[in-house]
C-alpha cells in the first residue's frame, strides 16, 4: 500500500455544493478534517454531536481555569488596590471581565443546552443533566451572589463585600471544577469509538 492519502495531497473529502441566491451564485467546498481515520489514511469530520461536545468542553475548561485564577489570585488582590483608585479599578475590572467571560459562559450554556437534544450516544443523559445542574448553580450564584458584591464594590472598596466575594466564589469554583471533570468524561466517551 502507498503513502496515506493525507500525505499524497489527495483529497477524498466529499464536496458540498451550495447554490441559489438572486444572482444564481454557487459555492463548492470541502469541510476541513479535524481527525484522521485510525489507519491515518482518511481525513474524517466528527459528527455534529461530537463537535458539540468538543465546543462544550472547550468553553467549560476555559472557564474552569479562569475561575481558579480569579479565586486564588484576582479576587484576593482586590483589597490591595487602595482606596483612592478602587472605584475606577472596579468599574474597569467589571467592563473588561465581561468581554472575557461573557462569550465563554454563553458558549458553555448554549452548547450544554443543545446537548440535551444532540449528543453522542456514548454520552449519557446523566452526564448532560448533571452538567446542566452544575451550570445552573454557577449562573444562579453569579447573578444572586457575586454580581451584588461587585455592585457594592463599584461604589468603592468595601472590606465586607470583598471578603464575601472571595468566600462565596468557592461555590462557583467547586461547581466549575466538577463541570471540568464532567466534560472530560463526556469527551472520553464521545471520542472512544
Give me the pLDDT at residue 13, please.
46
CA neighbor of 189 nearest in space, from 58, 42, 59, 54: 54
What distance lies between CA 120 and its chain's CA centroid? 18
Closest by CA position to 76, among listed 186, 181, 173, 187: 173
**Domain that includes residue 16, residue range:** 5-44
Same domain flag for 102 and 160: yes
Number of domains in the chain: 2
136/116 same-domain check:
yes
pLDDT at 55: 95
- What does the alpha-carbon distance between residue 102 and residue 96 come to, in Å, rounded to a whole number? 10
DSSP string, 148-177: HHHHHHHTS--HHHHHHHHHHHHHHHHHHH
Task: Kindly state whether residues 28 and 111 are assigned to the same domain.
Answer: no
pLDDT at 40: 57
pTM: 0.75
Q: pLDDT digit string (tens) for 51-61?
A: 899 999 999 99
Report pLDDT digits (tens) over 101-134: 999 999 999 999 999 988 888 899 999 999 999 9
Amino acid at each position: 500500500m502507498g503513502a496515506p492519502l493525507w500525505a499524497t495531497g489527495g483529497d477524498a473529502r466529499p464536496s458540498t455544493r451550495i447554490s441559489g441566491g438572486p444572482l444564481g451564485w454557487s459555492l463548492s467546498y470541502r469541510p476541513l478534517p479535524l481527525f484522521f481515520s485510525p489507519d491515518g489514511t482518511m481525513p474524517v469530520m466528527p459528527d455534529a454531536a461530537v463537535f458539540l461536545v468538543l465546543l462544550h468542553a472547550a468553553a467549560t475548561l476555559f472557564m474552569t481555569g479562569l475561575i481558579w485564577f480569579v479565586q486564588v489570585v484576582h479576587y484576593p488582590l482586590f483589597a490591595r488596590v487602595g482606596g483612592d483608585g478602587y472605584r475606577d479599578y472596579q468599574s474597569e475590572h467589571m467592563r473588561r471581565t465581561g468581554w472575557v467571560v461573557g462569550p465563554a459562559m454563553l458558549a458553555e450554556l448554549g452548547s450544554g443546552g443543545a446537548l440535551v437534544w444532540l449528543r453522542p450516544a456514548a454520552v449519557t443523559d446523566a452526564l448532560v443533566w448533571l452538567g446542566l445542574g452544575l451550570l445552573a448553580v454557577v449562573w444562579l450564584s453569579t447573578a444572586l451572589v457575586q454580581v451584588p458584591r461587585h455592585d457594592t464594590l463599584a461604589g468603592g472598596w468595601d472590606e465586607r463585600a470583598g471578603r464575601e466575594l472571595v468566600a462565596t466564589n468557592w461555590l462557583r469554583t467547586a461547581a466549575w471544577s466538577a463541570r471540568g471533570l464532567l466534560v472530560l468524561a463526556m469527551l472520553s466517551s464521545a471520542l472512544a469509538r
